[in-house]
Structure formats: C-alpha cells, structure tokens
Structure 1
C-alpha cells in the first residue's frame, strides 16, 4: 500500500490524546454517601468489570476514529500490478510546425518540453529514449536523465509531421519488451488517427498529454500557378496564389506581396471569411531574364511556416517547332522563321527523324494522308510526356484511317466531310492562346472573321474533354484543344491551304504564334519537402559526369540521377529541410533553379481536445491508454495514474462508524 499524502501520517501521534484522557479518568474518585453499603458490596465487583470494559471500548473507538481520519487524509492506495513501471521509458515530444501555436502558458513546443522534463524528474529511470518527429538514429539510443534533459532542451521545430501509427511503430521497432510511452502533442486532427490507439497489447502503457492552443487563427498560402507560360517578350505575366483562412473568424486587410529575383513586383490587399479560400492574381513583367526566383508572402502569426511560398521559373530562350508534311505550308514557315525566339524546322512525312521530333515543343501535322502505326505510337507517347501537336487534315482524307490517330489521342473523331462555305462566328476569348491578345472579353459585332470552304464535322462524345476555340455559324467546330496526360492536342477540322482566307487573317498569326508559346511546358514551380517527388531534369551536359548537386547557401546535396522513358530525373531522398530556392548543378556547371516549400498539411490547426480523447478511450475501452488532465500537474497526474484501488473513502466511512459506536457506548453508560 502507498499513500498519496504520506505527510498526514504524522498526525497518528494524536492517538495519544484519548489514551492520556482515559488514564486520567481512571485516577479520579467520586465519594458517594450511603446510609448502608451492605447491598453495594454484592454488586461492586460485577459493575466494576462492566464499566472497565465499556471505557476500553470507548477508548478503542476514539483511537480507530482518529486513525481512520488520518488515513483518509493520507489517501492510501494499492498500485496496480499492470501499472508497474517498465524498464523502457519513451517520451515523444511533437515538434511539428503546429506546435508553434500559442497556449495560455506560452508556445506549445516550449510547454511540451517543460512537461517532458517534469516527467524525467518524477521517474527514477536511467534507460530513457526521447523521440521527436525527426526520427533520428540518435533517438534509438538509451539516455540517462541528464542526457535526456539536454536533448529535450535542444528540440527545435521540424517540417516533418508524424501520424500516431508512425510513433507507435517507431517505439515497437526499437524494443519488443513492454514499455511506457508518454505522447506530448497538440493532437492535430489532420495527422492524429485515434483508431491507431486501439491495441490489444496490455503489457505496455501509453499516456497522452494533450496541450491545447489558445487561438485557432492561421492564414496560409496553399499553392500558386501560372496563367500562361513565361516568355522573354516583356509581356505582362500573371501568377495566381491561393490563400486560405483556416480560422473561425473573418480576416480583413490581408496583404499579399510578390517578389521576383529579390525585387518587389506587386501587392494585393484582400479579405477572407472564416474558412474561405480565394485565388489572387499577381501581375509582373519579365524581360531578358532566363531565371525567375519568386516569393509570395503574407504577414501572419503565430503560425508562420505557411506564410511564404517559393517558386522558380526557368524561362525558355527558344521554342522548337517542327512541321511534318508532304508539301510544306509556306504561311506557317514564314510565320515561325521571322520569330527570333522560335527555332523552326520541317520534316517530310517519308523521312522522319524521331530523335529530333522528340526534342520539339510543338509538332504540326499538316496535310498528311496516311499515319504509320509507328508514328501513331510515337505521337501518343510524345503527348503523354508533355509535348504539343497540331493536326491539320488534308482536303480529302480517309476518315476511318484518320480516326485511328484521333482515337489514340483521345479526341473527337471525324464524322463526315462537308463541302460548304461557313463563317467563323464564335471565338473562345477565355482560351489560354488568347491571353494578352484582346483588351476585352467581347468581340465587336462588326469584326470581320474568316470563312472556310470545307470542313469535317465531329462525332459527339461524353468521354472526351475538349475546349472550343473557333466555332462555325452552324455550331460545328473549326479548332478544338484537348489535354492528354501532360501534353496538349490542337485539332483543326479543315485544311489550311494557300488560298484559305484564314491564312490571310490576323487570327492566323495570333493562333499559331500563341500555340507555339503555350507548347513550352512549364517546369514545376516548386516541390514539397518530404514528399519524395522526383525532380525532372530538362538539360544536362553530356560532356560532364552525371554528378548532380542541389545547392543553396547552407545546403549541398548530391542527388541521385535517374533515367525513365528517355526522361532524366533527380532524387534528393528527402534530404531538403528548408523552404528556399536551390540551384541544380552538374559537377560545377549551373543548370537551373528549383524551389522547395513546406507541406501545407498542418495549416489547419484543429485539434482533439481533452474531452474528445477521454471519450474515445472510454468508448473503445482501451485499457493500456490513459490521459493526463490539464488541471493537474505532472506529479499529480502520475500519482493518479499509479493508483488502482483508493481507500480514502472507506476510511471516511469507518471514521463515521467509529464515532457512532462511541456515541452509543457513552449513552449506554449514562443510562
């Protein structure tokens, strides 16, 4: 048996008080005068024995009453056999970004570290392991109290986020023996699956120590994307940033700032309702800049890891366009050959160089009557890997054969050939190839649009996702665009011959020039730390060794070089830890920039509260898991946890019984 308040046992000396009173009462004599004591002598001996017995019973009842009251205040208990301290003590301290939030006692991580040290001070273990989200190999090693305290004091915030199952698996990978695990965390709902706590292992015990945040305010920049590819022409570019209010209250006057290459470009002010997402357009211009390193930022506290979003854009210096045909279209040739940033080539359909074709940004299939199975397979793979193709049919084609190509490319199929002149009556000005072309989203009614003498109607299909660009007055389509995997397909329904009015219209130049601009597949603007994404390598120097570095001011990682389907990739093996811009180099030669950002998984700071955790444990009858109460300190919680059967209520009841016995005995004597 143990006592929660053993200091109260000193009050057992109070037992001496009724004993002393009893002894003094025995020495008192009372004189009673009688005329004759003849009859008293006969009952004297018998009554003396009864009184002596009753006095002793009163004494014992008083002693037992005092003892019961003292033991009740000392709170005796018998430790549970299941709760005996195991030889393996683990303390997990959550150091994810959500622990930067604020509680009534300060920063959550600082409070967690204090509680971890308090646990150390209340245990006599010398075999201790401290675990954080880092899962370092040093955390597998046994530490003594001093080493454990020093390790806890040096814990810093980490970008790594661990599920409950990850923590349990980590502990069980270290030891197969029974253990005691303290989990000190904010128990964020996004990463904490309470079902992972349901376990039949009764030999080990887990103690949850939840730390509650004071506020639920956080604004995050979740992602960004370009509305159109970047070029060196000096045109205005737009990058869209998606921001979210993760709090339960409205936020006003949020300032979103954009920096490009350390120069401030623009600022937008916005407001957000509770839990609202909003996309903000940020405009900037770039000219003669081959690399753009940008940062979108806001001001928000106390959670700051998601207040900055880094991105990198490697601007293509040239666009490669190739026309494949029997007879080269001179209008297309003149258009592209006059552009400094476009490298134009032509290949005859009978003499194709697939290696050169694979390096093109845009392939124009013009006036081709027959597609070989090898060309069809190449075009499908080319589009899937991010290439763009433009299909211009001949005036008279075998529809059934053409549909073999279109079917593989997942576009609408040709239905029939129509020989009639039709005007283009509708233009989809929202399509990306018209970005920065028209000042308004509505055409003037008096605008002169081109006409086409013949075209192919298309079969309707619900399985095909398309975007109309040009539409005839009868509703048929002249030009559609389709996305397939990483690439894009532009499908004309009519030939574009020398005498076609479309080739003489300004829309011809606009359409084909912007088609080439859009064919430049943008690299990923950024990668996410700890996600394990492979980094696509667009260029490499064949004259150098395949030794690639990912560098920043304080980081230099040798990346693994991978080749898959003729594409080159780099793997950092999740060694990047800081959100920032990084250089990719081959040996010492610079290749490109990339950016890394922290995962936005923890931006939503909603957490399980103490009551929710208690209810889950009780509802699922989880015997080996308990929870520390926030209104008790670590020492009090440990004492409460260590008790199986408490007897203070029993001793209160016994003290009342003994008092009642004493009262009855006194009344009996008096009567």
Structure 2
C-alpha cells in the first residue's frame, strides 16, 4: 500500500482525543455520601457494568471514525501485488527532452538526439487513456513546446517527432523548475517527470528542490565514452588592430577525451578563402594552444572561421571570428606646436624622421593626422575627421566649444592634452565640466618629479604595457600638472602618484572623450613626449577612440542578444542571418539603441546601417558555448542526488518501476463510506446509552 497524500497520516494522532476525554472524565468521578440503599446495590452494579461497556464501545467507534477519515484524506493506494487489485492510477507527466548541441553526437547505435526522441516516445507509450502529458525541450533555456498538461497524447507524440536540435548549451535548473511548475496544477495526483539527457553540461549544477513532489526519472542517453575535440576560442593578441601590422591570432582547442588527440589539422579561412593549415601535435587530456601571425591589408571588418576535421560531433568543429582593422584614421591636431603629436601619430612622416624614431616604428599610415592652429578651428568640417585632438589651448573659444559639441553629437571622439596655458579658468571650467567631465584647478609643481600608476591596467589603451611599466628609472617623469576633479560618470584610467588624475575617459552625447593631464607640445612639464611610451600610448588612445564610434560586441554566444548603441542618426538597420534567409529590419528606440535576440545559429551575421546618404556594413560572429563540447557526463548517481530522482539504466528497469508506482487501487472512497457507517452506529449506541 502507498499513499498519495502521506502528510494527512499525521491526522491519525487525533484518534487519541476521545481516549483522553474518556480518561479525563474518569478522574472527575466523586464519591457522594447518601442514605443507605442496600436493596439497590445489585441493580446499581448491573447498570454500571452496562454503561461501562457502552462507553468503551463509543470510545472505540469514535477513535475508528477519526482514523478512517485521516486515512481517507491521505488517499491510500493498494498496489498490484495484491491479487484483488487491478486498478491503474491516472498519471500526469512532464517529459524533458535534452536538445542541446551535445546531443548531436553520433554513437555507434545512432545520433543521441534520435535515441532520445525514441526514448521519449516509449515513455509516452506507457501512458493510457485519462493520463496527461507535457513536453519541454531543454537547452540553456527551457522551451515548453506543450506547456499545459494535455490528455491528447498524439499531440505530444507529434511534438516529439518534430523536435529539433539546437546550437545551445545546457541549463538543467530552468527546465526542471518549469516541470515542477506545470505539475503544480495537475489534476492527477500521480505525477512524474522524465529527464532524457546525455548528462553533459551539468558542471556547476546545484541541488534542485522537488517542489511538486513528483517522481523524477533520469533516463541517460549514450552507450559509450564520448571522445571529442572542439575549438573553444579565437582572439587577437591585442584588441586594437592596425592595418599592415603583424598581429598574433591565438587559438584554443579543447581536448575532451582521456586518450591522446590524434594529429589534427586546423584550416584557417579569411573571407571564405583558405589561407593556411596548422598541424596540431597529439597531447593527453589537455587543451591545445596554437597561434599564427597575420597582417590585415585593408581597413574594416575581416571575417572568417577555423575548421577542424569532421568527427562524431560536427557542431563544434567550426568557430567564427570578426576582427576590425583600423587604418587611415583621420585625426585633426588643433595646436600651435604639432611636432611631437604628428611624429607619434604617423612615425613614417617627415616629423617621425626628424624625431629620430627607430625604423621599427616607421609603420604604415594607420593614422592619418592633420594639423591646424586654434584660430582655424571654425573652418573644420565634422564629416572630414574621425578624431579631434586639442593640445595646450590658451582658452576654449566659442568656435572651439561649438566644434567639440558637433564632434561629440556626431558620435566622433575627442582627445585633449590639457597643458598649462589656460588663461580663463572660470569660463573654461564651466565648458569642461559640461562637455568633458572635468574641472581644472591650480598648477601643481612636483620636486622631485612624479610618475603615474594605472588605475585600470586592463584597459585596452594600456595593452602594450606591463602594469608597472610607468614606474622606474626609464618611465616618464612629470614636473608640473593641474589640479583636476572629475564628474561621477567619468572614469580615471591613470593617475599621478599623489592621486591627481592623469588620464580620464568620459562619454557624453554619442561621443567619447579622453583627457591627458599633460602637455602635448613642450618638455617643460614632462619628458613624456621624448620617451618610447608616448607613441604607443597616443596611438592606442586614437585606436580606442575610433573603436568606440561603433559600440557593439562583435563576438557573441548562441542565444546571447545583440545590443548596439548607434552614435549617429540612421534611417533603419537590417540584420542578415548566416543561413541565407532574408534580412530582418530592426526597430530603434528613442535612444538609438537596437536589440536583436535572434542569434540562435552560429555563423557570421551581417548588419547594414542605413544613414541619410550612405550605408555602413558591420559583422557579428556568433559561436557555440564551448563548455558544451565537453561530453564527459556527470556521474548518474550524483545526478540523481541533485534532482532527488530515480536513476534508470534500462527500459526493463523503468517498466518495473512504473508498474509498481502506477498500478493500484485508491480506496479512500471506501474508507469514507465505512467512516459514515460507523458514525451511524455511534449515534445509535450513544442514544441507547442515554435512554438506558
């Protein structure tokens, strides 16, 4: 016998209440002296004996009634091991079918997802008329294909047959919790959950409480130890890439096997053209790291992929990338003395030759600088330049402020070398605070000279430098600076050793502002301009400022939404998926943000941004969650503990458990009828006792 509502068994304790009342009344009997009635003694003894028997009978009847009611509420179920029981309890079940991409592994007996669908169909076939079922497809999201329990088992069977593999990873928690939620409102109190999975991707899973009280079965798929290798990451050795400059492309390959990885060839494709092949060595139970050098010859987005040879899991044999190469960045220097700035921005220019820079710095024109005096700034057209670089201005004229506003509103970038020459601090500070996020104070002289420390050493501007590069005998020394306070929304990237900011980043309107608390034209304030640090520092700043003009993450995981903040006014945005389907038009919100959640396939997505008169084309690489490539399963017993589940290794074992759990006869109705009959008897006995 089993109980569908075992909590009500505690009600049996209430059966002792009549006994307690009976014992209490016995203690209340008092002896009362009365006149001698010796001739009535015999009749008294006979009556007392009869009343005592009636009281005992009433006590037993009342205790039995309470016990029967508690048993009926607990819904006892007689199992089929009794010869007279043949009734089958109605069942509500939820089938959770794992369709993460690891289920695409080809076992000897077939593809794991096909085996899982067959197993789900077998579970469904075990149900009968009056039973209910629902279906959840499990990946890193819970997809309730049939969310509401339905007695239409053919509908569920069709949904199972039509289920498709996804390119997503695994998240057990969401699907199991949804199954419990579905069963909370089930009509049938015999509730079951079936999790059909390869047990891969459970890393980090914590125990999940059984909120519905359902019986949970884990049905493992996969009849062999899976061996797999997959590409886990592709990245450039530096985040900001210039044209015609060598960059290392670093590749990580996961070896998810307990055996040595065979000699493997990785093919490298750029823009759909095969560029090279890389031979990988055999290694044991370890990830492989390889790299190769590449030069991007043209400005813009460069797309491609890496390809491993085909194996039993094809989905993770290819990984996509998008690298943005910057070149010809038009940077306008507004200063009376542009020599050092021009030499650092374009070392191959005559200024670079005059500065005596090492030939290794004589690179191609990644940056195309120009220079004008501050008095000429009103003649500048925003459309002609990418970066506005201001250095050592004596004042911020109205024309200068207008150009700053125009550049930032157009989504362009501004770099400022504050210098020591400002002569109108009140008006200047108001303008700086509103548009640059800083307030300047008095001049500060350092004797001995000070140096700088990096507040954010991981910032891409400092990528060429070690964290302690700016401290030491060869590091730049600073003799003078300005007191500076920053707005709460500004970020200090580097500071002097006395905590005064040296480099500040500020974002306003649609643009990005970088502010150096140093001079860009004279050696009086610091020797920064003639040290080997100035060229990479300034060039990285220009590259970073340019990269901020399209604020988007170009590397996403399948299912990760794309969010872009457009810096300039546009008419519309269209996104083309990698499967060749027509592009989808995306709506912009009032802040010029777009959000796209349709990244459900790996590949290269094409993003077309239409302006008033032109079209910009961007690219996005979407890849698989590499953790799903590790097919080594969690221990089955451990999985059972996490879910409070039954673990089943074979169909025969499952059939035996279902036969035990499902088949039986509920007898709560009979118990209630018996309780009512005893109530009637109790009433008759009580009335007869009172009359007697």
TM range (shorter): 0.5 to 0.7
The answer for the alignment partner of 1:183 in structure 2 is: 195
Residue 491 of structure 1, aligned match among 516, 522, 533: 516
Matches of 2:325 and 2:532, distance apart in 1? 27
SS in 2 for 1:113: helix
Does structure 2 retain, via aligned residues, the 8 Å contact 1:324–1:363? yes
CA distances 1:202-226 after superposition (whole Å, capped 9, x unpaired): 4x54433233563254434333333
The answer for the alignment partner of 1:195 in structure 2 is: 207
The answer for the alignment partner of 1:50 in structure 2 is: none
CA deviation after TM superposition for structure 1 residue 396, in Å: 8.5
Range that drifts further, 158-167 or 358-367:
358-367
Does structure 2 retain, via aligned residues, the 8 Å contact 1:186–1:213? no
The answer for the alignment partner of 1:530 in structure 2 is: 559
The answer for the alignment partner of 2:280 in structure 1 is: 269
Matched, 1:554 2:558: no
The answer for the alignment partner of 1:579 in structure 2 is: 602
Matches of 1:80 and 1:368, distance apart in 2? 99
Work out which of the two has the higher radius of gyration on C-alpha atoms and give 1 or 2.
1
CA distances 1:435-454 after superposition (whole Å, capped 9, x unpaired): 999xxxx9xxxxxx999894
The answer for the alignment partner of 2:126 in structure 1 is: 122
Matches of 1:130 and 1:493, distance apart in 2? 65
CA deviation after TM superposition for structure 1 residue 366, in Å: 3.0
The answer for the alignment partner of 1:131 in structure 2 is: 136
Matches of 2:284 and 2:661, distance apart in 1? 44
CA distances 1:599-634 after superposition (whole Å, capped 9, x unpaired): 33423445443322444566xxxxxx5443437354
Matched, 1:236 2:246: yes
Residue 84 of structure 1, aligned match among 89, 114, 119: 89
The answer for the alignment partner of 1:520 in structure 2 is: 546
Structure 2 CA distance for partners of 1:224 and 1:116, relative to 1, 3 Å: same
SS in 1 for 2:292: strand
> Where does 1:219-258 land on structure 2 (aligned, <5 Å)?
219-228=229-238, 233-247=243-257, 251=261, 253-258=263-268
Matches of 1:399 and 1:256, distance apart in 2? 61
CA deviation after TM superposition for structure 1 residue 96, in Å: 1.0
Does structure 2 retain, via aligned residues, the 8 Å contact 1:310–1:596? yes
Matched, 1:159 2:167: yes
Residue 629 of structure 2, aligned match among 600, 603, 624: 603
Consecutive unaligned residues of structure 1, counting only runs of 5 or more, are 2-73, 425-429, 443-448, 619-624, 646-671
The answer for the alignment partner of 2:53 in structure 1 is: none
CA distances 1:32-63 after superposition (whole Å, capped 9, x unpaired): xxxxxxxxxxxxxxxxxxxxxxxxxxxxxxxx
Matches of 2:585 and 2:376, distance apart in 1? 42
Matches of 1:388 and 1:75, distance apart in 2? 83
Does structure 2 retain, via aligned residues, the 8 Å contact 1:255–1:270? no
CA deviation after TM superposition for structure 1 residue 114, in Å: 2.0
The answer for the alignment partner of 1:594 in structure 2 is: 620
SS in 1 for 2:250: strand
Structure 2 CA distance for partners of 1:490 and 1:319, relative to 1, 3 Å: same
SS in 2 for 1:497: coil
SS in 1 for 2:233: strand
The answer for the alignment partner of 1:65 in structure 2 is: none
Matches of 2:148 and 2:226, distance apart in 1? 34
CA deviation after TM superposition for structure 1 residue 293, in Å: 1.0
Structure 2 CA distance for partners of 1:504 and 1:132, relative to 1, 3 Å: closer
Matches of 1:478 and 1:94, distance apart in 2? 56
Matches of 2:98 and 2:220, distance apart in 1? 10
Matches of 2:654 and 2:442, distance apart in 1? 78
* Superposition CA RMSD, Å: 6.0
Matches of 1:627 and 1:231, distance apart in 2? 53
SS in 1 for 2:89: coil
The answer for the alignment partner of 1:635 in structure 2 is: 655
> Where does 1:93-492 land on structure 2 (aligned, <5 Å)?
93-101=97-105, 105-125=109-129, 128-133=133-138, 135=143, 144=152, 148-160=156-168, 161-169=170-178, 172=181, 176-178=185-187, 180-188=192-200, 190=202, 193=205, 195-199=207-211, 201-202=212-213, 204-211=214-221, 214-215=224-225, 217-228=227-238, 233-247=243-257, 251=261, 253-266=263-276, 267=278, 269=280, 274=285, 276=286, 280-288=290-298, 290-299=300-309, 301-316=311-326, 318-323=328-333, 327=336, 329=338, 332=341, 342=368, 344=370, 348=374, 356=382, 360-361=386-387, 363-367=389-393, 389-394=415-420, 417-418=444-445, 454-456=479-481, 489=514, 491=516
CA distances 1:64-120 after superposition (whole Å, capped 9, x unpaired): xxxxxxxxxx96578799x8223x443221111122346675433222122112223
Does structure 2 retain, via aligned residues, the 8 Å contact 1:240–1:282? yes
Does structure 1 retain, via aligned residues, the 8 Å contact 2:245–2:295? yes
Matches of 1:483 and 1:367, distance apart in 2? 19
Structure 2 CA distance for partners of 1:205 and 1:508, relative to 1, 3 Å: closer
Structure 2 CA distance for partners of 1:257 and 1:235, relative to 1, 3 Å: same
Does structure 2 retain, via aligned residues, the 8 Å contact 1:256–1:268? yes
Range that drifts further, 528-537 or 99-108:
99-108
Does structure 1 retain, via aligned residues, the 8 Å contact 2:201–2:627? no
Matches of 1:78 and 1:354, distance apart in 2? 98
Matches of 1:458 and 1:241, distance apart in 2? 45
CA deviation after TM superposition for structure 1 residue 530, in Å: 1.2
Matches of 2:618 and 2:150, distance apart in 1? 44
Structure 2 CA distance for partners of 1:632 and 1:341, relative to 1, 3 Å: same
CA distances 1:250-301 after superposition (whole Å, capped 9, x unpaired): 6464544432112233436356663x55654332122235431111333474
Matches of 2:560 and 2:240, distance apart in 1? 27
CA deviation after TM superposition for structure 1 residue 128, in Å: 4.5
Structure 2 length normalisation: TM-score? 0.59
SS in 1 for 2:143: coil
Structure 2 CA distance for partners of 1:227 and 1:480, relative to 1, 3 Å: farther
- Equivalent pairs counted in the alignment come to 538
Matches of 2:643 and 2:425, distance apart in 1? 68
CA deviation after TM superposition for structure 1 residue 524, in Å: 2.8
SS in 2 for 1:98: helix
Matches of 1:603 and 1:553, distance apart in 2? 22
Residue 612 of structure 1, aligned match among 618, 633, 638: 638
CA deviation after TM superposition for structure 1 residue 579, in Å: 0.8
CA distances 1:567-621 after superposition (whole Å, capped 9, x unpaired): x4432233x3221112223579662222222233423445443322444566xxx
Range that drifts further, 92-101 or 217-226:
217-226
